[in-house]
Amino acid sequence: MILNASGCLDALTAPRVARSLDIYVAKTITPEPMSGNPQPRLAETDFGLLNSIGLQNPGVESFCAEILPRLEELGMPFWISVGGANAADYARVCERIGERESVSALELNLSCPNVDPAAAGAAEIVAACRAVSDKPLYAKLSPHLPDVAEVATGVIEAGASGLTLVNSLRGLVLDEWTLEPRLGRGVGGYSGAAMRPVALAAVYLCYEATKGAVPIVGVGGVQNGKQALDLIAAGASAVALGSVLFGDLEAPERVRTELEQEALARGFERPGEARGAAHRPSAG
């Protein structure tokens, strides 16, 4: 199953690309409108991309009135990413958006590197959202956590249905001549090919900690089918594409085809059969 990483594709400006995904994940929505971080917000690096968007969005009420109906017209499954400053904020958005039958799941953004961290702990946020919504809840966790597996088990116990691993790392890039930060906020979220080992480790550890009992969306630097298969072998049940979408709008279909071919080459009839292969003891 191929998704996009939240914030890496606007389905309303690129509906054909969105429909080439199995599930579309909308950008993070907060209770009130957010204007985002100061410009500039994007900067290329030698091995990836820095962004500092800052959860710019119209707020949940405008989203439900103006954007959500247009997403429903896509005629495909979609998730909504949810953000806030505290557990009550997250719960408010989940309750409001969760009323819509068209929303397949809610992804709780517990890990954005471009805003101040939520005041409440991850498990507290999940519990508050579970209390107001029966929608599937996916907890999106940060690669900066000292023990991501421990937090993963905590959010599952609090009511999360699955995990999204991982969000971007914090990074900084300086102007070649002025030596000043190239992003308006200074530090931003780093994504790209170098994220792959980080994402693999998080998926691997959380699959072990949860004994493979919950679905995991693996995200981090995937650019081809073999890299997607690696995440599945580590324990992912779905793969999200991020920065690759900025340069290759054909990536969803291409990666899906390559993934099927890579799985078949290794004796799996379907990519899903390779889930957890990295954890199986070698024969002999």
Q: Which structural domain, as residue segments, surrounds residue 132?
A: 2-40+54-169+193-279
Which has more pLDDT, 241 or 36?
A: 241
> Is 94 known to be catalytic?
no
Domain count, the chain: 1
In a domain, 179, yes or no: no
pLDDT, mean of residues 9-32: 97
Write the CA distances from 218 to 27, 109, 196, 237, integer angstroms. 17, 14, 10, 8
Residue 102 lies in a domain: yes
Q: Tell me the average pLDDT of the chain.
A: 94
- Tens of pLDDT, residue by residue over 48-85, are 899 998 899 999 999 999 999 999 999 999 999 999 99
- 73: domain CATH number is 3.20.20.70
At 106-163, the pLDDT tens digits run 999 997 654 544 545 899 999 999 999 999 999 999 998 989 999 999 999 999 999 9
Q: What is the mean pLDDT of residues 258-268?
A: 98
Q: How much is the pLDDT for 54?
A: 85
User: Is residue 190's pLDDT more than 50?
Assistant: yes
Answer yes or no: is 184 within a domain.
no
Q: Indicate whether 178 belongs to any domain.
A: no
Residue 176 belongs to a domain = no
CB 169 within 8 A of CB 219: no
Beta bridge partners of 3: 23, 240
Is residue 146 in a domain? yes
Single out the catalytic residue among 8, 112, 129, 206.
Answer: 112
Q: What is the 3-state secondary structure (H, E, C) of the chain?
A: CEEECCCCCCCCCCHHHHHCCCEEEEEEECCCCECCCCCCCEEECCCCEEECCCCCECCHHHHHHHHHHHHHCCCCCEEEEECCCCHHHHHHHHHHHCCCCCEEEEEEECCCCCCCCCCCCHHHHHHHHHHHCCCCEEEEECCCCCCHHHHHHHHHHHCCCEEEECCCEEECCECCCCCCECCCCCCEEEECHHHHHHHHHHHHHHHHHCCCCCCEEEECCCCCHHHHHHHHHHCCCEEEECCHHHHCCCHHHHHHHHHHHHHHHCCCCCHHHHCCHHHCCCCC
Q: Which two tokens mark 213? A: 């009992």
Query: Residue 231 falls within a domain, yes or no?
Result: yes
Q: Which pLDDT score is estimated for 110?
A: 93
**pTM: predicted TM-score of the whole model, two decimal places:** 0.94
Position 47 in a domain: no
| Alpha carbons 126 and 138: distance in angstroms, whole number | 9
